Structure 1
Amino acid sequence: MLNIAVTLICASFLFAQTGKISGVVKDKTSGEALPGVNVIVEGTSLGASTDVDGFYVILNVPVGRHDVRFSYVGYSDLRVNDVIVNIDNTATLNAELSEEVNVGEVVVVTAQRELIRRAETNSRQIKNSEEIKNMPITSVQDVVALTSGVVRRGNSNDVNVRGGRTEDSAVIIDGVTTNSSTDGTSRARLNKNAIEEVTVQSGGFGAEFGGVMSGLIQTTTKTGSSKYNVVFELAADGSGSERGDKFLGSKVNGYRNYNLSIGGPIIPGTNNHFFFLSIDKLVQQDDSPSWGGEAIGSDYTNKSSENDALNIVFNYKANIGESMSIRFGGTGDWSTNTPYIHNRSFFGDKAGHYRTYETKNFTSNLTFTHTLNKNTYYNFRFGMLLYDRIEGDNRYGTSFIKYGDAELNQFSGDETDLSTAKMYGLLEEDGDLAQDPGTLTGFVDEYGTEDYRLRRVFAVNRVWNQWGKDFEKNWDVSADFFTKLDKHQIKFGAGYKAHELRKWFVQPAGLNKDGQISNKFSNWRNNVFSNYYGYDIKGNWVDEGDYKNGNMVEADPINNPGVYIESFDLPDSLSSHGSEAPRTPKSFWFYASDEWVNDDFILTFGLRVDYFDPNWINLINPLDPVSGGFNSKEFDPGDYTKSKTFTEIQPRLGFAFPVDENTKFSANISRFVQMPAFQRMYTSYYELWDETRGSGNTFNNPNLKPEENISYEISIAHQLSTDVVFNMRTYYRSIKNLVQVQRINSTNELLNYYITYGNIDYADSKGLELSIETRRINNLRLFANYTYSNASGTGSTSNSNNRNATDDSQEFVKFATDLEHDVPHQLNANIDYRFFDGEGPAVFGTKPFQNFGLNLIYKLQSGRPYTERKILNSFREIDTRYAEIGSGVNQERLPTISSFDLRLDKSFPLNFGETNVNLNIYVDIQNLFNQENVIRVQRSTGLPNEDGYLATAASQNDVETNNNYKRNSYRYLLNDPDRWDAPRVMRFGLRLEF
């Protein structure tokens, strides 16, 4: 029998998007090593020859499936099909050749990936394009959510990995980190037809990776091969139906998705230049469907949550000679999104002013690789992320003047100013504005008068009072070197990363209808245009030196352009750029690691050094921020100095060894650090100046230092049979220096106190992960995992203590409680059952079930914790977060949630001359049994849509007795659809591939 062994050995490279194939070739009869055997990856120029020990290694093999051919004089050729190469891994392919009997004979076998990756020292879970294609999912986040140790709330893009915060994980696409450095969230949106592979590492990753503390999510996109491949796919949730309609018993959400993907050689018949292009158009009338939250008793309510997006992926790869290659590619995403806001849904489109985002997001990557010999190569890499978002009113967009036009906005009354009290209006049945809107709401305020705002909750017909721009550019360059010396695989590299951050936000309601400033300059300057950098006061792009003298702003840019009022400037001795130039933090890194591999033991050791420069200011005296300058009552340049820099050393250690031929033991310990989200560090000088003039204001902290995680992991893998493997992992993570909002009691009597952010939080996370995986056995393939975990700490997010910070005491919650993303029990399972061509039961001489498949996903999460609050006794304090605590901090639990997702598909082979086309028709059903899954509750009752207030005597003072319309208005307020996960959602698709 031919002995083929395929193992995946960790050989991580900095953001590398390739793997390796290596192994030993022997004579099948004698077992002796064969030197000089030619080993090539078919369809490429990649290859190697075995040495005197029969050993070979092929470097920089693209991720995916490959056919490998072994040729040796006097022996039959051997071709091994479907050798799977994963990102940053080595596929070890050992082969035995037989002496040639028939001239030209080729032995063909199919490789199988070993279930135990014997040299892997950390936990990683991998899904390739074939698996992803058959699953009822639409995004990378859907894949990640099935990983053990990963917690996801509903269908959101945010995930928590092993108890970490959402911003602690990195999403990398083709070597480019897609996380925003501003808020830490990923900007990625990638259609699944462009995905070659998704790898999730929950901890223990190598020294080449930095700036991430929890999960490392690596996605490789397709690059094209020697054969052309074209895919056209479309999907919808109901032909001719609109949002809210029913189709086959399920609610229609206006979902339309169109995709065209094409890849192959640029020049037919050649193996040197390849391309891949994927264009994906997505339209959703409701991008966050909800099981609950239906309007009660009113035709004037709707759920506006629309999304219109275009995603493009392009890759080009060229092989230059036998030893060099270059890859260039990128992603582009254009979207317009109107997220649902419950307090703006009352009266629906008749009064609809909504927040709208227009977003452009691009990544680009360039990698040059040079293989010096079979054991050594190096690469140079460039990567960039561009993010540009505009936020504004859905009706007025970027039309600045319209925000301040009372005639366009038609507010109640005849006043032309847009003060806050005039920014609400209600519509009567004939569509006119109600002059006495309290007659509709039925609620009164604390003074006994009818309340037109439903107690500051329903913002009916109110302009979205924020127009802003966010721009972010992150780019990095790096160089990496790899060499194999005997049994040591040595890697080292260095890199530089730069950021350019711009922000501009205004509150246009501070303007009156003709665009003039209604208040004096200081109020306008600091309340209407309170926070910007990288733009001038009118929202125009500025760089270094763009300001007149670096410190002048126009007092009235609309009516009196060119008339300047002097502000203050950052001294040239502290910075080279103007006072409101973009923020430009930067970082450097160096790493080195050694992987020592022998027959019985694998040891990996790495060391990473990160240097970070915020490149901004540092408060000299945080207890009295205004004490050190020229004016002891106001913030000025004497109150700060050049920012601190940080240098962090991070060791990484891992080892693995076989217990027996069916069992592997591995462990790792590592230190990880990352800088806090920049939105907690950077602000405008003018905002600092304004916020330090009074008591109780909030501003960001430029003194924040890196957050830290020390992680421990032990893992055992045991192969139960030829096709079944069982894995058990346990971990512990100690996290400190997490950012949390805090109150600073100032020594300055005028300032009194202020709110800022500090490195004052800590957390612990521990868990046990069990998983089982099979190869396909009689048409069935199974993957399942169970996680038991506990995540505790002093704050779930950087704003968890926001309420405490406004109290008179500076004390915070300094004991560990269960975090809001603590999910003790989680179960994921994926079953794929399918008949291939010619398979399936026979019916009247035919096989109707051939090429038919079923893919089922089951997900279960025990309830998240929340803090009980007592029922309020006054309607004006509707926010139950500010009521008295009931049982204790995070002592109550949400209900357990679970769902089944199903895909049924059937393929039809079609022939058009020499062109073979595969037609696949499918239906995806999410939440198959329409399970009610509550993801948020009213803290006073533990129910999603009932806070207990209407049952209290106090409510009779606010609502007239037996007035059902007025009570229904209040119930509608509680019936927020965002408190439920999605209902049953059906989508029908057609896929053509040739």
Structure 2
Amino acid sequence: YNEYAPAFTNVLNPYGIPGVFWGEGDARVYERRSTDTYSVKGNLTSQINQVHELRGGFDVRFYDIFFFSNSLNYDPQPFQDNYSDTPFQMAFYLQDKIDFKGIIVRGGLRLDYFDSKSFSYSNPFDQTSEKVYASPKWRLNPRLGIAHPISETAQIYYNYGKFFQVPQLQYFFTGINSDLSRGNQILGDPDLDVEKTTMYEIGYNQLLSENLSLGVTAFYKDIRDLVQTRRVPAIPNPYFQQVNIDFANVRGFEVSLNKRMSNNIGGYASYSMQVARGVASDATEAYFDYYNDPNRTDPVTGGTRVIPRADFYLDFDQRHTFKFSGKYALPKGGGPSLFSSKPLQNVIVSAVYNLASGLPYSPEDDKGNLIGLRNSARLPWNSSLDLRVSKAFNFKRFSLNLFGVAYNLLNTENIINVYPRTGLPDTDGVNRTSSAISKTSANYVPFRDLNRDGRIDNQEAQSTFDEAYASRLNSPFNYGSPRVVRIGIELNY
């Protein structure tokens, strides 16, 4: 018996099955990271006259980032990365709200600025080569909104805006100080551009009665310069570089019905439909596509086959979403009387029900090959009912609020992830077999020997093996949260 065998091969688990569960040992990676953010922001509003209302503000952020990772630390040439950087971000905006004869126009400009305050090397393989410092990124983003009545009870509105989004900070710094001769590396870029979004929206609001309104909104978002990895065929070792090459778009509409509080009752109902398409759902997708592709070599040229980059439904493409919420509130002195008291006064009962179609996933055949297009299959619909009940007790100097909240009150089993070969959350479609084990084997465990004859025969081995894998595959990460109930007290003074 090899006591230095990897921890996952031992039999220290409830089933006594080797090679299924981790029973002891340490992870191969030591990692430490921290991000401190210091921010200052302010806003100012001034009603200049009856027509113009000016708003302005700023948001300044200082980051202090530290990261250290050592993977395969027992290897003479491990995967190692470390950086310590202090990027800086700020924004200023100015908006004028013009209200003239029922027509409301909101026009503004926002200045966004980001500086990674870092550098890369002119030769990524030589950290003594010239340092190339990143240039600051800034952009003026216009915003425009127009709303005007088309009748005494109806309004139509339009919104347009440009938006500036800083990518995840790790994409600027990862791998810059790594040893690229190790191979299989992803290299960040301190000079990455920001991600840009253009948004268009048109909507219609209709007052159906004094307390009931209808809203219809259509929207379109065009997203550019998303971060992705691109293979660099460098010598001596190719590597992957973070670059701004991806794009996506999101379009859809929403219909809503809103009842404001009246006669102690309020509510809201909505239906939204959206389509989200793009060339990748993750900034490292091209990297994993390359290493998971069994046919990386082009049979004609002998070089690396170029994987086509076409748009598809993104991981967050949730096509249909319904939402219903209701609220019943009894004010002070409300509700029935009991022995000259009002036991239900200051009681609030609210409920929210969500129903949504499933997210996409990529189906595979029994050999693990992609079937059809990426994200061409769908998970089942999900639903949940949340309930909150509270009662307030008011005193002279403070108030006490008792509440209870139930999330997923009906304990609905929501499937949020499946195995791509089967489309099921508890079986992966891989056929596995186990063989007989003698008592002299290091893998012999008495409770697998069902008839206690000193030998685990094929039937015993397979049945206990199947039970172990069933537990392993029945992952809690494949299901949404079960019912959760919380009870609490709030004190306000």
The two structures have a TM-score, normalised by structure 2, of 0.83
Alignment of 1:799-838 (within 5 A): 799-806=284-291, 807=293, 808=296, 809=304, 811-838=306-333
Q: 1:822 to 1:475 in 2, by over 3 A?
A: same
Q: 1:993 to 1:686 in 2, by over 3 A?
A: closer
The 2-side partners of 1:920 and 1:589 are apart by 39
More strand by share: 2
Alignment of 1:183-332 (within 5 A): none
2:38/2:62 contact within 8 Å kept: yes
Task: Find 1:949's aligned residue among 425, 430, 435.
Answer: 430
Task: Find 2:184's aligned residue among 696, 719, 722.
Answer: 696
Residue 459 of structure 1 aligns with which residue? 22
Q: 1:589 to 1:640 in 2, by over 3 A?
A: same
Percent identical residues: 26
Q: 1:949 to 1:606 in 2, by over 3 A?
A: same
Deviation at 1:771, TM superposition (A): 1.6
Residue 279 of structure 2 aligns with which residue? 794
Asked whether 1:726 is paired with 2:187, we answer: no
Residue 177 of structure 1 aligns with which residue? none
The 2-side partners of 1:921 and 1:893 are apart by 41
Asked whether 1:930 is paired with 2:480, we answer: no
Long gaps (5+) in structure 2: 297-303, 437-457
Q: 1:853 to 1:939 in 2, by over 3 A?
A: same
The 1-side partners of 2:412 and 2:39 are apart by 46
Alignment of 1:105-120 (within 5 A): none
Asked whether 1:861 is paired with 2:338, we answer: no
Deviation at 1:906, TM superposition (A): 4.3
3-state SS of 2:433 partner: helix
Task: Find 2:78's aligned residue among 524, 527, 544.
Answer: 527
Asked whether 1:968 is paired with 2:467, we answer: yes
Residue 712 of structure 1 aligns with which residue? 200
The 2-side partners of 1:929 and 1:493 are apart by 45
1:745/1:810 contact within 8 Å kept: no
Alignment of 1:48-447 (within 5 A): 413=2, 421-424=5-8, 426=10, 440-441=16-17
Q: 1:600 to 1:993 in 2, by over 3 A?
A: closer
3-state SS of 1:696 partner: coil
Deviation at 1:965, TM superposition (A): 1.0
Asked whether 1:596 is paired with 2:98, we answer: yes
Long gaps (5+) in structure 1: 1-411, 416-420, 432-438, 442-451, 511-518, 534-581, 627-633, 873-882
The residue type paired with residue 704 of structure 1 is L
Residue 762 of structure 1 aligns with which residue? 247
Q: 1:587 to 1:779 in 2, by over 3 A?
A: closer
1:743/1:810 contact within 8 Å kept: no
3-state SS of 1:775 partner: strand
1:740/1:760 contact within 8 Å kept: yes
Deviation at 1:708, TM superposition (A): 0.8
Deviation at 1:757, TM superposition (A): 1.9
3-state SS of 1:801 partner: helix
Deviation at 1:684, TM superposition (A): 5.7
Q: 1:722 to 1:738 in 2, by over 3 A?
A: same
1:924/1:987 contact within 8 Å kept: yes
The 1-side partners of 2:161 and 2:360 are apart by 29
Deviation at 1:797, TM superposition (A): 1.8
Task: Find 1:503's aligned residue among 55, 63, 67.
Answer: 67
Instruction: Give aligned pairs, total.
Output: 460
The residue type paired with residue 54 of structure 2 is I
2:120/2:176 contact within 8 Å kept: no
The 2-side partners of 1:662 and 1:926 are apart by 37
The residue type paired with residue 988 of structure 1 is I
Deviation at 1:489, TM superposition (A): 2.8
3-state SS of 1:967 partner: helix
The 2-side partners of 1:847 and 1:981 are apart by 40
Asked whether 1:682 is paired with 2:173, we answer: yes
2:72/2:78 contact within 8 Å kept: no
Residue 890 of structure 1 aligns with which residue? 375
Q: 1:645 to 1:941 in 2, by over 3 A?
A: same
* More RCO (CA 8 Å, sep 6+): 1
3-state SS of 2:411 partner: coil
1:794/1:813 contact within 8 Å kept: no
Asked whether 1:665 is paired with 2:156, we answer: yes
The 2-side partners of 1:850 and 1:615 are apart by 58
The 2-side partners of 1:488 and 1:679 are apart by 43
The 2-side partners of 1:482 and 1:855 are apart by 34
Residue 745 of structure 1 aligns with which residue? 233
3-state SS of 2:464 partner: helix
**Which deviations, in whole Å up to 9, do the C-alpha atoms of 1:289-335 show, x marking residues without a partner?**
xxxxxxxxxxxxxxxxxxxxxxxxxxxxxxxxxxxxxxxxxxxxxxx
**Which deviations, in whole Å up to 9, do the C-alpha atoms of 1:648-689 show, x marking residues without a partner?**
2211111111222212221111111222111111036541xx
Q: 1:684 to 1:771 in 2, by over 3 A?
A: same
Q: 1:425 to 1:480 in 2, by over 3 A?
A: same
Deviation at 1:774, TM superposition (A): 1.7
Deviation at 1:830, TM superposition (A): 1.4
1:742/1:805 contact within 8 Å kept: no
The 2-side partners of 1:474 and 1:926 are apart by 32
The residue type paired with residue 973 of structure 1 is R
Deviation at 1:737, TM superposition (A): 0.8
